[in-house]
Amino acid sequence: MLSRFTELHRTSRPKAVVMAVAAVALAIIARYALDPVLGDRVPYITLYPAVLITAVFGGGVAGTLTLLFGAVAAAAFPVFFHGALPGAPAAAVAFGIYLLCGGIAVGAASSLRATIGRLQLAQEKLLASLDASGAGTWRWDVRTDTLEWDPALVRLFGLDPDEAPRTQADFSQLVHEDDRATIDKVIAEALATGRPTEFEFRFLGPDGNLRWMYVRSRMIRDPGGQPDAMVGACLEVTDRKRAQQRQTLLVQELNHRVKNTLAVVQSLAMHTRRGSRTLDEFQEAFEARLLALSATHNILTRELWESASLIELIAAEMMPFGGLAGGRVHASGPPVRLKPQQALGFGLALHELATNAAKYGALSRPEGRLVIAWRTVRKPDGQTWLALDWEERGGPPVTPPKRLGFGSKLMERSIRSELGGELDRNFDPAGLTCTIRFPLETGPEEGRVLPP
């Protein structure tokens, strides 16, 4: 389990002096206690550990001060306790050995502290990287089946510290039952081959929702080549998996919509050709219908193909005929949103009505006016329907057509077949009136819940 297992403290100079004086004092007291046994021999024997300890825990300055203070104290020791200095040759040799060994101890301790400092820096960098990545680490002792998790991994799984698994069997209980066999197989292969492994599995989070975890591990073997331990790191990838799933669904949906759009375009081309007397007439009618289809696509694209606003759809289809701001077309009704398939079918129907109005109806004369009004209706079965009234006034006298052209047939098919609705047209000499009704899937805009 990864944790802060080294902690190096820096020592100030005043503190180093205090440590050195205290260490020398304790060493002299210990030497005095051993004086009945040692006599005036090896006066520096208790100072060696004092120098080493202060150098390790206090640093090079504390160790050097202890070395110097100790030399002075040890030289004075025979005078205070034996009344005379030891022989000059023996004292010189002992003093030289003490300085040499003490200097080596200070240098070794300083090197050790520098190594610990580098290790602590690398450790802090690793911990910072893990904190930033949101990962957690673990260690599994293969021989004793002991599992250790660091606190970050415990938090990733939403557990309390005392709920962390202690064995492989405990961990298996956290994994989704459909993924346990896969994990057992991966672990068995890692034990057999010793190669690093990576895998993903599902588990239930503390909120009860299914989550995904990514794991990468490495096997550690003993000198005999047998599995000793496995260490690894875990990273929650729930958001990434959901994004992948959403991307897959979007690609499938896009493929489906492209096929549908191509089928619609093919049908428009074929039927427009049948109803056109000349190539120019075909081009004009076909381009107009493609632009109407494109206008609906633009609205849906802005809304990420979730739904389309009815008023925006009407404004887009009326744009080639003067739009809603010109004063000749008045549109009113409550906020309503249509599902993508509804918007495509309804947009084509609106285009055919507007085209007929521009050619033969109210929009063919400057004084003509068009009123579009809609409302939502609650049916006895609880389903909400949209009812839209189309009323033309001020155009030429209207006469019922002798036969239905492709535009009228397209409108009939869009409303009745694709939208499952109803279409009523009244060819009043004063102007065409039309009522379109079909069931809504999204309902009024207020309080709506869009699909995920």
333 pLDDT above the threshold of 50 = yes
Asked if 218 contacts 137 with a C-beta cutoff of 8 angstroms, the reply is no
What is the pairing mode between strands 136-141 and 227-236?
Answer: antiparallel
Q: How far apart are CA 372 and CA 433, in angstroms?
A: 10
Q: How far apart are CA 402 and CA 407, in angstroms?
A: 14
Extract the tokens encoding 399. Answer: 């006469």
Pick the closest to residue 313 from 294, 327, 326, 328 (CA basis): 294
Residue at 257: amino acid letter: R
Extract the tokens encoding 121. Answer: 């820096």
296 CB contacts (<8 Å, ≥6 apart)? Answer: 308, 313, 316, 317, 343, 344, 347, 348
Read off the pLDDT of each residue in 413-421 and give the average, rounded to a whole number. 85
Enumerate the β-bridge partners of residue 149.
138
Q: How far apart are CA 62 and CA 60, in angstroms?
A: 6
Pick the closest to residue 350 from 370, 367, 365, 369 (CA basis): 370
- The residue ranking higher by pLDDT, 227 or 7, is 227
If phi > 0 it is left, if psi is from -120 to 50 it is alpha, else beta; for residue 304 that is left
Residue at 250: amino acid letter: L
The per-residue pLDDT for range 360-373, each reduced to its tens digit, is 899 999 899 999 99
Q: How far apart are CA 213 and CA 202, in angstroms?
A: 6
- 388 phi, psi to nearest 5 deg: -120, 130
Domains of the chain: 13-132 (no CATH), 134-236 (3.30.450.20), 242-439 (3.30.565.10)
Extract the tokens encoding 80. Answer: 């205070």
Q: What are the start-end ranges of the H helices in 200-339? A: 238-275, 279-302, 310-318
pTM of the predicted structure, to 2 decimals: 0.49
The per-residue pLDDT for range 241-292, each reduced to its tens digit, is 888 888 888 788 777 777 777 777 777 787 677 777 788 888 887 888 788 8
Lowest mean pLDDT among 176-190, 276-290, 298-312, 420-434: 276-290
Segment 120-129 long-range contacts (CB within 8 Å, at least 24 positions apart): 120/6, 120/7, 120/8, 123/4, 123/5, 123/6, 124/4, 126/2, 127/2, 127/4
Extract the tokens encoding 252. Answer: 């499938």
Q: How far apart are CA 268 and CA 290, in angstroms?
A: 8
408 pLDDT above the threshold of 50 = yes
The per-residue pLDDT for range 169-178, each reduced to its tens digit, is 999 999 999 9
Helix (H), strand (E), coil (C) string for 247-284: HHHHHHHHHHHHHHHHHHHHHHHHHHHHHCCCHHHHHH
Asked if 234 contacts 214 with a C-beta cutoff of 8 angstroms, the reply is yes
Extract the tokens encoding 141. Answer: 């002792």
Categorize the per-residue pLDDT at 1 as very low, low, confident or very high, splitting at 50, 70 and 90: very low
Asked if 354 contacts 427 with a C-beta cutoff of 8 angstroms, the reply is no
* Local structure of 212: helix, strand or coil: strand
The pLDDT assigned to 374 comes to: 95
Categorize the per-residue pLDDT at 423 as very low, low, confident or very high, splitting at 50, 70 and 90: very high
Pick the closest to residue 349 from 276, 441, 438 (CA basis): 438
- The residue ranking higher by pLDDT, 285 or 422, is 422
Read off the pLDDT of each residue in 108-118 and give the average, rounded to a whole number. 78
* Local structure of 194: helix, strand or coil: coil
Secondary-structure breakdown of the chain: helix, strand, coil percentages, each rounded to the nearest 5: 55, 20, 25
The distance in angstroms from the start CA to the end CA of the chain is 40
Q: How far apart are CA 372 and CA 330, in angstroms?
A: 6
Read off the pLDDT of each residue in 141-162 and give the average, rounded to a whole number. 89
The pLDDT assigned to 181 comes to: 92
Categorize the per-residue pLDDT at 127 as very low, low, confident or very high, splitting at 50, 70 and 90: low
Categorize the per-residue pLDDT at 95 as very low, low, confident or very high, splitting at 50, 70 and 90: low
- The residue ranking higher by pLDDT, 347 or 267, is 347
Extract the tokens encoding 115. Answer: 């190594």
272 CB contacts (<8 Å, ≥6 apart)? Answer: 282, 285, 286, 289, 406
Read off the pLDDT of each residue in 110-116 and give the average, rounded to a whole number. 78
219 pLDDT above the threshold of 70 = yes
Q: How far apart are CA 436 and CA 414, in angstroms?
A: 11
